[in-house]
Structure 1
Amino acid sequence: MIIENPKCLLEHPLSHAEFYSYPPEEVIRAIYKCFLDNEVFQNRFKMRAHLVETPIVMLDSTKVPEMKIGYDISVNNQISVEKAQILNDFIEADMSDGNKMRSVAMFIVHWAKTNKLLGGAYPDERLVVKFRFNSYIIIHLIIHFVQIASNKLILDTRKNPEDRVDRYNFDEVFRNYMDFFKQFCEYYLNFDYENVGIFGFKLIKKSELAEAENVKISPWMMVDPLHTTHNICYHVVPEGIKHFRSLLGTSLEKMNNPQFRMVDLLA
């Protein structure tokens, strides 16, 4: 096992076949130990390993702390590359003038951070209560909602990678940014979290979704379109759902104010 002699990764580099013959967790453990034993890395980075579903080593630069520069290292992680590509492809598939979907996605993630649903790297973005939301969940909430509002399947992971995302036009579905956000808030405020889960374009009873995709039932269920045995909302706590719905309700109230501006949603 390379974890017993992690420096073999540096002294005797593995071939491609040898490297991929080891479990990712074992390789990450070995890489992490090499970094911990390296004086240069000790001085330049705060380091930690997350041995989760996709094991990673996280390096946070200590040279310029206020810049919050960090690096994540993973191995044999093509699925994460594909996940990131799908999110990018979905945004790029919007044919609206100026690609409004890009602005919408950035705004909603920022809205979630300023309203303490998502945590961030900076001190004022730290959460007192961790609801276990993340930006990946937020983006897939947007993708699901756009498909519902458009009444068509836009993201189809059964197709080849280059054909997975159909083109759509934000301007043909929503009047403006406010119309999008109002419908988004109304949809998820009235969502039946207790009984149904999200699988791409579809809404499926939780019990049926759990059985069909071999995922565990949780307070909120949303299956990862590229990794269908992964319930990406599994760790979201009930208080997180409650806070999310409270934010949606508050945002709708703000939008009913005649003097409303989109920036008001960030306060």
Structure 2
Amino acid sequence: MSFDSSLIEEYDCRHVVIVRWTQSDISVIAAPAAVVAFIETVGYSVGNKTVLSINLLIEVNGIRLRDVTDFMKMSQDNFTNSELLDLLMITIRLELPERLSAIESGFDMIKKGVEELVESASCEMFGSFPSKVRRNGYSDIDINIQPNMTSGKVRPLKELLANPTSVISCKLTSEELRMYPPEDIIRILYHCFHSNEAFRKEFDVRYVPARTPILVFQSNKQGKIKVSYDVSVYNHIGVDKANLLDEFIMKDKSKDNKMKNSMLFITHWARSNKLLSGAYEEEKLKTKTNLNSYIFNQLIIHFIQAAAAKILVHPQAKYGSRVDEFNFDELFSDHCKFLKEFFKYYASFDFTNKAIYGKQAMQKTTLLNVHGAKVTPLMIMDPMDCTHNISAKVTDDAVKLLNGLIRNTLYILKQKPFHLNYLLETNRIAVAMMKNKETKITVTSKLINGIEKNLMSVQLPEVIRSAEDLMLLLTRVLRFDVNPHHEGPSVPDLNNPGGAIFNVHAKTWIGRRNIKRQLKNTHKDLSPLQVDVMTSDVYQYEDPPVAVLKVCFSAKERTTNLEIIIGNVAEVRDAMHFLMDQFVLNNLEFLMEHGIQSISNIPTTELPQS
């Protein structure tokens, strides 16, 4: 039992009580008064307006994401991170016996229906549900219809499409199943099942045109467990993909096969952080990312090969010989080391220009020229079909979200102590951690060639990830201008020890409150970030400049170093404190999710003349 987490802004054990019953204690649930009495006996006051929600820990599609998070929070102090990851994976594999019974019943009905329509065909499950190493409490049910022999007459396709229900009395032959395009076979089968009253009573049947066309059977009986089946035809590539994933996991020779749980955890991490939809209605994404678990599995397989520094996967070999043996323990020692290395690798991966092609990270333009693959925000080529970009439909916004989550996850993993449950709420936890850190600014004076120079070092927050990010903040928010006697500044200038030289013509960090108030009055629809950025646009330039600075960026040290050529050291320090501790901190949640570069999409403005 738990309160709805949306009732509170921050999780606090004094506000939320979670009570778990074992199956032998289930009778307690029937007496709400006993529940309230128990809570009050341990020192909590339950008012008349207190909202209590009672739900089973394991439901139709396994455990809910929010319950997993609750469970992890309660368990963290009793287990090491690696033990907790293993425990979590056991939990999300739990299934209701009633669901298994419903799946078996539905599958038998679909299989019998196929046998009545297709001659000499097998109807077999594939994918994560029948897998010994990838199955979980919400696994999809994938079914493939495969011809067992090449025989039978072949009718013209036009004739079958014109009268698809004719196969009810004269079955599709194995040769027709093998010869004709899967989308046409699926369309024919759809008409047959849709016209069958017995199937209409049990299922909602729909045809989904896709690269691999499928028939979706969704159980529809009121009061019965809802199960969905995806049926494809002659889908040997889909079966091979599933088998390859299973074989990759099974070829790990580490103690307890750590690859199995690490791979499953990455997918759960993606669901918990809203990169993938969950199994329950409230866990569905409001905006589709078009990411899927197969994409994350391929990210893992590419990384493992990069870490091993050798090709482990041979897609064209026979099943059983497609993956070389490897040892997770030798590569990473434990789950936490794997997670740190995995997110570190992809935090520095150039998703803009690079594509994943097996073990290799190749230029996207190379794949365009060699395979004719369309360049997309995320490019991962399918190991079973090197011309197919499995991430072709992933949106640019989804890649930005993925990038931000990867970097925030790595930031959490670097903290000491680190708690695994933090990764299930990555952005919220990362923001909270960063808000508790003050910007470190160090000022020194040095005598260089007989000239005293004032130098400043500013520790950058994790959200500022590149020289491009720093450049945008300096020029748009602080309104630093290019020195006309200096060529640049450009991003490469910031990356070089020589840095870039800026003139400071406006003290945009002073007196912002009244300008913000005016902007809010004249532009009612602006977000806080838009108001903050546009406020800087309004400042008038002063001449001569109030300061001249040389600025450079150090990615390794995560600092920006400034030399104050002209100007007051205290004023420059105030400017940097404003930028880091006010502007960035006040907008941290949005910037962590969308990136600093999202600022460039905000239009400039002027206040109306009074």
- Residue of structure 2 equivalent to 1:260: 418
Structure 2 CA distance, aligned partners of 1:11 and 1:73?
22
- Residue of structure 1 equivalent to 2:364: 206
Offset at residue 203 of structure 1 (A) = 1.2
- Residue of structure 2 equivalent to 1:9: 167
Structure 2 CA distance, aligned partners of 1:3 and 1:59?
21
Structure 2 CA distance, aligned partners of 1:260 and 1:24?
50
- Residue of structure 1 equivalent to 2:236: 78
Instruction: Answer with 1 or 2: which has the greater Rg.
Output: 2
Indicate whether 1:122 and 2:280 are aligned.
Answer: yes
Structure 2 CA distance, aligned partners of 1:250 and 1:118?
17
Offset at residue 68 of structure 1 (A) = 4.1
Structure 1 pair 176/227, CA: closer, same or farther in 2 (3 Å)? same
Write the deviation string for residues 76-119 of structure 1: whole angstroms up to 9, x where unpaired: 11111101000000000000000101101111111101110011
Structure 1 pair 70/16, CA: closer, same or farther in 2 (3 Å)? same
1:168-247 counterparts in 2 under 5 A? 168-247=326-405
1:13-162 counterparts in 2 under 5 A? 13-63=171-221, 67-162=225-320
Structure 1 CA distance, aligned partners of 2:414 and 2:374?
39
Q: TM-score, normalised by structure 2?
A: 0.43
Offset at residue 209 of structure 1 (A) = 1.2
Structure 1 pair 36/15, CA: closer, same or farther in 2 (3 Å)? closer
Q: Structure 2 residue aligned with 1:250, among 408, 417, 422?
A: 408
CA contact (8 A) 2:216 2:228 kept: yes
Deviates further, 7-16 or 239-248 = 7-16
CA contact (8 A) 1:68 1:121 kept: no
Structure 1 pair 64/146, CA: closer, same or farther in 2 (3 Å)? farther
Structure 1 CA distance, aligned partners of 2:206 and 2:401?
30
Q: Which runs of 5+ in 2 are unaligned?
A: 1-157, 426-610
Identity %: 39
Structure 1 pair 182/213, CA: closer, same or farther in 2 (3 Å)? same
Offset at residue 65 of structure 1 (A) = 7.1
Offset at residue 165 of structure 1 (A) = 0.3
SS in 2 for 1:240: helix
The alignment covers a number of residue pairs equal to 267
CA contact (8 A) 1:68 1:122 kept: no
CA contact (8 A) 2:355 2:362 kept: yes
Write the deviation string for residues 231-251 of structure 1: whole angstroms up to 9, x where unpaired: 011111111111111111221
Structure 2 CA distance, aligned partners of 1:217 and 1:65?
47
Structure 1 CA distance, aligned partners of 2:263 and 2:288?
22
SS in 2 for 1:209: helix
Structure 2 CA distance, aligned partners of 1:233 and 1:6?
34
SS in 2 for 1:260: coil
Structure 2 CA distance, aligned partners of 1:228 and 1:265?
33
SS in 2 for 1:46: strand
Offset at residue 256 of structure 1 (A) = 2.8
Structure 1 pair 7/159, CA: closer, same or farther in 2 (3 Å)? same
Structure 2 CA distance, aligned partners of 1:262 and 1:229?
38
